[in-house]
Structure 1
Amino acid sequence: MKTSLLAVLTLAAALTSASALDWHTDLPKAQELAKKENKVVLINFTGSDWCGWCIKLKKDVFDTDTFKTYAAKNLVLVEIDFPRKKEQSAELKQANRALQTKYKIQGYPTLIVLDGAGKQLGELGYEKTPEAFIAKLEAARKKK
Protein backbone atom coordinates (compact mmCIF):
# COMPACT_ATOMS: atom_id res chain seq x y z
CA MET A 1 0.00 0.00 0.00
CA LYS A 2 2.77 2.45 0.93
CA THR A 3 4.65 1.52 -2.24
CA SER A 4 1.56 2.19 -4.38
CA LEU A 5 1.00 5.56 -2.74
CA LEU A 6 4.65 6.50 -3.23
CA ALA A 7 4.47 5.49 -6.90
CA VAL A 8 1.33 7.59 -7.44
CA LEU A 9 2.86 10.62 -5.71
CA THR A 10 6.09 10.27 -7.70
CA LEU A 11 4.15 10.06 -10.97
CA ALA A 12 2.02 13.07 -10.02
CA ALA A 13 5.13 15.10 -9.20
CA ALA A 14 6.73 14.15 -12.52
CA LEU A 15 3.61 15.08 -14.47
CA THR A 16 3.28 18.37 -12.61
CA SER A 17 6.89 19.33 -13.32
CA ALA A 18 6.42 18.58 -17.01
CA SER A 19 3.07 20.38 -17.22
CA ALA A 20 4.10 24.01 -16.85
CA LEU A 21 7.12 25.94 -18.03
CA ASP A 22 8.46 28.72 -15.84
CA TRP A 23 9.12 31.67 -18.16
CA HIS A 24 11.03 34.53 -16.52
CA THR A 25 10.95 38.15 -17.69
CA ASP A 26 14.03 39.36 -15.78
CA LEU A 27 17.16 38.35 -17.72
CA PRO A 28 19.75 39.15 -15.00
CA LYS A 29 17.87 37.01 -12.46
CA ALA A 30 17.54 34.22 -15.03
CA GLN A 31 21.30 34.35 -15.68
CA GLU A 32 22.01 34.10 -11.93
CA LEU A 33 19.73 31.07 -11.73
CA ALA A 34 21.38 29.47 -14.78
CA LYS A 35 24.82 29.96 -13.22
CA LYS A 36 23.67 28.50 -9.91
CA GLU A 37 21.99 25.46 -11.53
CA ASN A 38 24.60 24.99 -14.30
CA LYS A 39 22.02 25.50 -17.06
CA VAL A 40 21.84 27.73 -20.12
CA VAL A 41 19.40 30.59 -20.68
CA LEU A 42 16.96 30.41 -23.58
CA ILE A 43 15.55 33.84 -24.45
CA ASN A 44 12.38 33.74 -26.54
CA PHE A 45 11.72 37.01 -28.39
CA THR A 46 8.06 36.68 -29.32
CA GLY A 47 4.86 38.41 -30.28
CA SER A 48 2.80 35.94 -28.27
CA ASP A 49 -0.67 37.11 -29.27
CA TRP A 50 -0.19 38.06 -32.92
CA CYS A 51 2.89 36.36 -34.45
CA GLY A 52 1.77 33.23 -36.28
CA TRP A 53 5.16 31.50 -36.17
CA CYS A 54 5.51 32.31 -32.44
CA ILE A 55 2.12 30.79 -31.69
CA LYS A 56 3.04 27.75 -33.80
CA LEU A 57 6.40 27.36 -31.98
CA LYS A 58 4.61 27.42 -28.63
CA LYS A 59 2.11 24.77 -29.79
CA ASP A 60 4.51 22.55 -31.75
CA VAL A 61 7.52 22.72 -29.41
CA PHE A 62 7.12 24.50 -26.07
CA ASP A 63 3.79 22.88 -25.12
CA THR A 64 5.09 19.33 -25.68
CA ASP A 65 6.11 17.00 -22.86
CA THR A 66 9.39 16.31 -24.69
CA PHE A 67 10.42 19.96 -24.54
CA LYS A 68 9.09 20.50 -21.01
CA THR A 69 11.14 17.59 -19.70
CA TYR A 70 14.27 18.80 -21.52
CA ALA A 71 13.78 22.40 -20.35
CA ALA A 72 13.35 21.40 -16.71
CA LYS A 73 16.75 19.70 -16.75
CA ASN A 74 18.75 22.05 -18.99
CA LEU A 75 17.26 25.53 -19.39
CA VAL A 76 16.28 28.71 -17.64
CA LEU A 77 13.57 30.21 -19.85
CA VAL A 78 13.12 33.93 -20.50
CA GLU A 79 10.23 35.38 -22.51
CA ILE A 80 10.73 38.80 -24.07
CA ASP A 81 7.24 39.49 -25.37
CA PHE A 82 5.96 42.20 -27.70
CA PRO A 83 2.20 41.59 -27.54
CA ARG A 84 -0.44 43.73 -29.21
CA LYS A 85 -3.37 42.93 -26.89
CA LYS A 86 -1.82 41.91 -23.58
CA GLU A 87 -1.04 44.70 -21.12
CA GLN A 88 2.56 45.22 -19.95
CA SER A 89 4.07 47.72 -17.55
CA ALA A 90 6.07 50.61 -19.01
CA GLU A 91 9.17 49.23 -17.26
CA LEU A 92 8.77 45.80 -18.85
CA LYS A 93 8.19 47.31 -22.30
CA GLN A 94 11.32 49.43 -21.93
CA ALA A 95 13.42 46.47 -20.71
CA ASN A 96 12.15 44.32 -23.59
CA ARG A 97 12.98 46.99 -26.18
CA ALA A 98 16.48 47.37 -24.71
CA LEU A 99 17.08 43.61 -25.04
CA GLN A 100 15.65 43.62 -28.57
CA THR A 101 18.20 46.31 -29.49
CA LYS A 102 21.09 44.62 -27.65
CA TYR A 103 20.59 41.31 -29.47
CA LYS A 104 19.67 42.98 -32.80
CA ILE A 105 16.34 41.16 -33.06
CA GLN A 106 14.66 41.84 -36.40
CA GLY A 107 11.90 39.23 -36.47
CA TYR A 108 9.92 36.80 -34.37
CA PRO A 109 10.34 34.23 -33.11
CA THR A 110 14.05 34.63 -32.44
CA LEU A 111 15.61 32.61 -29.66
CA ILE A 112 18.98 33.40 -28.12
CA VAL A 113 20.97 30.88 -26.08
CA LEU A 114 23.27 32.28 -23.37
CA ASP A 115 25.47 30.78 -20.71
CA GLY A 116 25.06 31.96 -17.12
CA ALA A 117 27.69 34.67 -17.64
CA GLY A 118 25.76 36.14 -20.57
CA LYS A 119 27.96 34.82 -23.40
CA GLN A 120 25.86 34.18 -26.49
CA LEU A 121 26.08 30.53 -27.53
CA GLY A 122 23.61 30.52 -30.39
CA GLU A 123 20.56 31.91 -32.15
CA LEU A 124 17.58 29.80 -33.16
CA GLY A 125 14.30 30.18 -34.98
CA TYR A 126 11.23 28.03 -35.54
CA GLU A 127 11.67 24.26 -35.78
CA LYS A 128 8.78 21.92 -36.61
CA THR A 129 9.33 19.38 -33.84
CA PRO A 130 10.61 19.42 -30.27
CA GLU A 131 13.31 16.93 -31.28
CA ALA A 132 14.63 19.21 -34.04
CA PHE A 133 14.51 22.23 -31.72
CA ILE A 134 16.32 20.36 -28.94
CA ALA A 135 19.01 19.22 -31.41
CA LYS A 136 19.69 22.87 -32.31
CA LEU A 137 19.76 23.78 -28.60
CA GLU A 138 22.21 20.98 -27.87
CA ALA A 139 24.53 22.21 -30.62
CA ALA A 140 24.48 25.67 -29.03
CA ARG A 141 24.97 24.29 -25.49
CA LYS A 142 28.13 22.48 -26.61
CA LYS A 143 29.73 25.89 -27.22
CA LYS A 144 29.52 26.53 -23.47
Structure 2
Amino acid sequence: MKFIFLFLCFYHFYSYSQNSESSLWIKDMEIAKKISKKEHKPILMYFSGSDWCKPCMMLQEDFFDSFEFKKFTDSFVFLYLDFPRNSDLISTERKIENSKLLELYNKNKQFPLINILNSKGKVLDKISGYSSLRDPRYHFELLQKFMK
Protein backbone atom coordinates (compact mmCIF):
# COMPACT_ATOMS: atom_id res chain seq x y z
CA MET A 1 0.00 0.00 0.00
CA LYS A 2 2.82 2.41 0.88
CA PHE A 3 4.50 1.55 -2.40
CA ILE A 4 1.41 2.44 -4.41
CA PHE A 5 1.00 5.71 -2.52
CA LEU A 6 4.66 6.64 -3.07
CA PHE A 7 4.43 5.69 -6.73
CA LEU A 8 1.35 7.86 -7.24
CA CYS A 9 2.97 10.81 -5.44
CA PHE A 10 6.12 10.47 -7.52
CA TYR A 11 4.14 10.11 -10.75
CA HIS A 12 2.03 13.18 -9.95
CA PHE A 13 5.11 15.26 -9.11
CA TYR A 14 6.99 14.09 -12.20
CA SER A 15 4.10 14.72 -14.59
CA TYR A 16 3.41 18.12 -13.02
CA SER A 17 7.03 19.21 -13.35
CA GLN A 18 7.16 18.03 -16.97
CA ASN A 19 3.91 19.77 -17.88
CA SER A 20 4.63 22.99 -16.05
CA GLU A 21 8.01 23.37 -17.76
CA SER A 22 6.67 22.71 -21.24
CA SER A 23 3.60 24.88 -20.66
CA LEU A 24 5.80 27.87 -19.82
CA TRP A 25 6.56 28.42 -23.50
CA ILE A 26 3.95 29.50 -26.01
CA LYS A 27 4.76 29.06 -29.68
CA ASP A 28 2.05 31.27 -31.22
CA MET A 29 2.47 35.06 -31.30
CA GLU A 30 -1.25 35.86 -31.34
CA ILE A 31 -1.89 33.70 -28.29
CA ALA A 32 1.06 35.32 -26.50
CA LYS A 33 -0.30 38.80 -27.27
CA LYS A 34 -3.77 37.89 -25.97
CA ILE A 35 -2.37 36.50 -22.73
CA SER A 36 -0.06 39.50 -22.38
CA LYS A 37 -2.96 41.90 -22.74
CA LYS A 38 -5.24 39.95 -20.39
CA GLU A 39 -2.61 39.46 -17.68
CA HIS A 40 -0.81 42.81 -18.16
CA LYS A 41 2.56 41.13 -18.62
CA PRO A 42 5.32 41.78 -21.15
CA ILE A 43 6.22 39.09 -23.66
CA LEU A 44 9.66 37.52 -23.60
CA MET A 45 10.24 36.48 -27.24
CA TYR A 46 13.12 34.01 -27.54
CA PHE A 47 14.74 33.17 -30.90
CA SER A 48 16.66 29.90 -30.71
CA GLY A 49 18.35 27.41 -32.98
CA SER A 50 17.80 24.50 -30.64
CA ASP A 51 19.77 21.86 -32.53
CA TRP A 52 22.64 23.87 -34.05
CA CYS A 53 23.25 27.11 -32.11
CA LYS A 54 25.85 26.44 -29.39
CA PRO A 55 25.29 29.82 -27.66
CA CYS A 56 21.54 29.02 -27.59
CA MET A 57 22.25 25.69 -25.94
CA MET A 58 24.53 27.33 -23.36
CA LEU A 59 21.95 30.06 -22.68
CA GLN A 60 19.28 27.41 -22.19
CA GLU A 61 21.42 25.63 -19.61
CA ASP A 62 22.83 28.68 -17.81
CA PHE A 63 19.80 30.97 -17.93
CA PHE A 64 16.46 29.33 -18.72
CA ASP A 65 17.18 26.12 -16.80
CA SER A 66 18.59 27.92 -13.76
CA PHE A 67 16.94 28.14 -10.38
CA GLU A 68 17.22 31.95 -10.49
CA PHE A 69 15.17 32.09 -13.71
CA LYS A 70 12.18 30.47 -11.96
CA LYS A 71 11.44 33.68 -10.03
CA PHE A 72 10.66 35.44 -13.32
CA THR A 73 8.15 32.91 -14.64
CA ASP A 74 5.10 34.72 -13.24
CA SER A 75 6.13 38.11 -14.61
CA PHE A 76 6.28 37.38 -18.35
CA VAL A 77 4.51 35.60 -21.17
CA PHE A 78 7.13 33.36 -22.79
CA LEU A 79 7.15 33.02 -26.60
CA TYR A 80 9.57 30.45 -28.05
CA LEU A 81 10.57 30.71 -31.69
CA ASP A 82 12.75 27.80 -32.74
CA PHE A 83 14.68 27.53 -36.01
CA PRO A 84 16.08 24.00 -35.95
CA ARG A 85 17.98 22.53 -38.87
CA ASN A 86 16.31 19.17 -38.27
CA SER A 87 12.94 19.64 -39.98
CA ASP A 88 11.38 16.88 -37.86
CA LEU A 89 11.57 19.11 -34.78
CA ILE A 90 9.05 21.67 -36.06
CA SER A 91 5.89 21.58 -38.15
CA THR A 92 5.76 23.24 -41.56
CA GLU A 93 3.08 25.66 -40.33
CA ARG A 94 5.17 26.65 -37.30
CA LYS A 95 8.24 27.08 -39.52
CA ILE A 96 6.31 29.49 -41.78
CA GLU A 97 4.96 31.51 -38.83
CA ASN A 98 8.37 31.64 -37.14
CA SER A 99 9.97 32.84 -40.39
CA LYS A 100 7.48 35.72 -40.61
CA LEU A 101 8.33 36.72 -37.04
CA LEU A 102 12.04 36.41 -37.82
CA GLU A 103 11.63 39.00 -40.60
CA LEU A 104 9.73 41.36 -38.30
CA TYR A 105 11.64 40.99 -35.03
CA ASN A 106 15.08 39.58 -35.90
CA LYS A 107 16.10 41.09 -39.24
CA ASN A 108 19.81 40.49 -38.55
CA LYS A 109 19.08 36.83 -37.76
CA GLN A 110 20.95 36.88 -34.45
CA PHE A 111 20.83 33.75 -32.30
CA PRO A 112 20.10 33.67 -29.47
CA LEU A 113 17.98 36.78 -29.28
CA ILE A 114 15.58 37.81 -26.54
CA ASN A 115 13.11 40.61 -27.24
CA ILE A 116 10.84 42.06 -24.57
CA LEU A 117 7.54 43.15 -26.14
CA ASN A 118 4.39 44.84 -24.96
CA SER A 119 0.98 43.26 -25.61
CA LYS A 120 0.75 44.99 -28.99
CA GLY A 121 4.03 43.50 -30.17
CA LYS A 122 6.20 46.61 -29.81
CA VAL A 123 9.82 45.86 -28.86
CA LEU A 124 10.64 47.47 -25.51
CA ASP A 125 14.16 46.11 -25.14
CA LYS A 126 16.35 43.23 -26.32
CA ILE A 127 19.57 41.33 -25.78
CA SER A 128 21.36 39.26 -28.38
CA GLY A 129 24.04 36.62 -28.29
CA TYR A 130 25.60 34.80 -25.40
CA SER A 131 29.25 34.79 -24.41
CA SER A 132 31.43 31.72 -24.15
CA LEU A 133 32.22 33.00 -20.64
CA ARG A 134 28.74 31.70 -19.77
CA ASP A 135 27.67 34.67 -17.65
CA PRO A 136 23.89 35.24 -17.89
CA ARG A 137 24.05 38.36 -15.68
CA TYR A 138 22.95 40.74 -18.45
CA HIS A 139 20.02 38.50 -19.34
CA PHE A 140 18.82 38.57 -15.74
CA GLU A 141 19.26 42.35 -15.64
CA LEU A 142 17.03 42.65 -18.71
CA LEU A 143 14.26 40.64 -17.07
CA GLN A 144 14.64 42.52 -13.80
CA LYS A 145 13.85 45.81 -15.60
CA PHE A 146 10.40 44.50 -16.57
CA MET A 147 9.54 42.42 -13.51
CA LYS A 148 6.36 43.36 -11.65
Return the TM-score normalized by structure 2: 0.75
- Counterpart for residue 101 of structure 1: 103
**Residue number among 127, 134, 139 corresponding to 2:140 in the alignment:** 134
Task: Write out per-residue CA displacement over residues 14-56 of structure 1, whole angstroms, 9 at most, x where no aligned residue.
Answer: x959x72511110111111111111110111110111000000
1:124 aligns with 2:130: no
| Structure 2 unpaired stretches of 5+ | 1-12
> Mean Cα displacement is larger for which, 44-53 or 86-95?
86-95
1:66 aligns with 2:68: yes
Hey, what's the Cα distance between the residues in 2 that align with 1:81 and 1:53?
14
- Counterpart for residue 94 of structure 2: 92
Task: Write out per-residue CA displacement over residues 32-89 of structure 1, whole angstroms, 9 at most, x where no aligned residue.
Answer: 111111111011111011100000000000001210221x221111111011124322
| Structure 1 unpaired stretches of 5+ | 1-11
Deviation at 1:137, TM superposition (A): 2.4
> What fraction of aligned residue pairs are identical, expressed as a percent?
33
Instruction: Go from structure 1 to structure 2 and tell me whether the alpha carbon gap of 1:68 and 1:129 turns closer, same or farther (over 3 Å shift).
Output: farther
> Mean Cα displacement is larger for which, 118-127 or 22-31?
118-127
- Counterpart for residue 112 of structure 1: 115
Hey, what's the Cα distance between the residues in 2 that align with 1:133 and 1:118?
20
Return the TM-score normalized by structure 1: 0.77
- Counterpart for residue 75 of structure 1: 76
Hey, what's the Cα distance between the residues in 2 that align with 1:89 and 1:95?
10
- Counterpart for residue 39 of structure 1: 41
Deviation at 1:129, TM superposition (A): 4.2
Equivalent residue pairs, number: 126
Instruction: Name segments (4+ residues, structure 1) moved above 2 Å.
Output: 125-132
Written as runs of structure 1 = structure 2, the 5 A alignment for 1:11-30 is 16=17, 20=21, 22-30=24-32
Matched to 1:118, the amino acid is G
Matched to 2:94, the amino acid is L
CA RMSD of aligned residues (A): 2.3
